[in-house]
Amino acid sequence: MTTFPVALPGAQASTLMWADPAQVEPAALEQLRTISRLPWVHGLRVMPDVHLGKGATVGSVIAMRDAVSPAAVGVDIGCGMTGVRTNLTAADLPDDLGPLRSAIEAVLPVGWHAHEGTAPVLRRERALAARFDSLMGRFGELRAPRIADRQGRALAQCGSLGSGNHFQEVCEGDDGHLWLMLHSGSRNIGKELAERHIATARTLEHNLGLPDRDLAVFLADTDEMAAYLHDLYWAQEYALINREVMMATTREVLARHFPHVVFDEPVRCHHNYVSEETYDGVDVVVTRKGAIRAGVGDLGLIPGSMGTGSYVVRGLGNEASFSSASHGAGRRMSRNAAKRQFTVEDLRAQTAGVECRKDAGVIDEIPSAYKDLESVIAAQATGPSPLVAVVARLSTLLCVKG
């Protein structure tokens, strides 16, 4: 049995893995080695859900000196999770969860859909509306080129789910209590900001000789890096408020169906983001792409797939991992491969007992397209160098997807 962490053979900068290299796709390992050879990299940490990404590997934590790579964050800036435990139990639920799913889908735009104007809940949640108004009031300060005409879309998409692996779920905890779970990011505006800044980075002279131009970086004390970080921090806040608006919307639905419901304080975490931190006495810019912060006592959420459930975890502050943990189970095959390999019948079998879409439009999200969640958790919650402690295991009862 592999004892974690293990060093990645052939890496230049210090690269530690909480994943067995023999079980990781060769293309992802080579991508990690390429990242480790960038002259600005102080260290690279690899989570057990690691898989190939564009430019930087998903499931990687990269600490850079005096530089930041937008691809090491990803284009869905601020993507992350929110979870809320309730006082409800499965005994409170009706036998048929179809009407509850329909009620959530009626008020929560999914896929390409957005609100008409702004999310209706903002007319009722004054504190949340004030945060939203403050954020959007700074839209004109964004520094990415040709972004001004995206403001209307950003207004309408705040409080919308999107598609792919984004979801809204009702889960049952191992203590019997129901949770609301939410996974989404900064929608199109985050993607637009990321792509515009990546395009700028690719033109800079110090990036012209890189082995992978998608790993282009901005350097400290330059206008380009200042502009990128300014826009990135705005997008991270947008992603958080987007989830807050959706959770408020879903809470209203649940309250209409169950008037006695009480909600605990939410658990929140980004897993595509930037943070300025210090390790080994060195000030670094840390990018977590498909990874969460797991500092001492930090609560985090690690989802599996639409038929698997999720874990609530508490960070242990393991500095060897740059205080990080995985963001989910991680894909084990591409979306196209999943569509080729599986059928609607497979999807129905693998999501038996879960109220969710069971059609061709979500075959790429079939549970078998993801790594085994239990193995991913075991790799970081056991052994001599654990990253997290398990707080709760959640089982999916209802899942809304775009």
The reply to whether 327 belongs to the active site is yes
Task: Cis check for the bond before 99: say yes or no (omega within 30 of 0).
Answer: no
| Local structure of 58: helix, strand or coil | strand
Q: Which residue has the tokens 């649940």?
A: 254
Looking at the DSSP assignment, which residues form a beta bridge with residue 167? 183
Residue 217: CB atoms within 10 Å: 26
Comparing CA positions, the residue from 70, 81, 401 lying closest to residue 271 is 81
Query: CA-CA distances (angstroms) from residue 62 to 229, 256, 321, 327, 381?
Result: 16, 44, 10, 15, 21
Catalytic residue among 42, 115, 270, 327: 327
Torsion sign, CA atoms 147, 152, 156, 162: negative
Q: Are 278 and 364 in contact (CB under 8 A)?
A: no
Two tokens, residue 272: 């595509």
* Strands 282-289 and 299-303, bridge-based pairing: unpaired
Contacts of 30 by beta carbon, 8 Å cutoff, 6+ apart:
none
Q: Are 60 and 45 in contact (CB under 8 A)?
A: yes
State the virtual CA torsion across 280, 35, 286, 2 in degrees, nearest 10: -70
Q: What are phi and psi of 189, to 5 degrees?
A: -65, -35
Looking at the DSSP assignment, which residues form a beta bridge with residue 269? 81
Residues labelled as active-site residues? 327
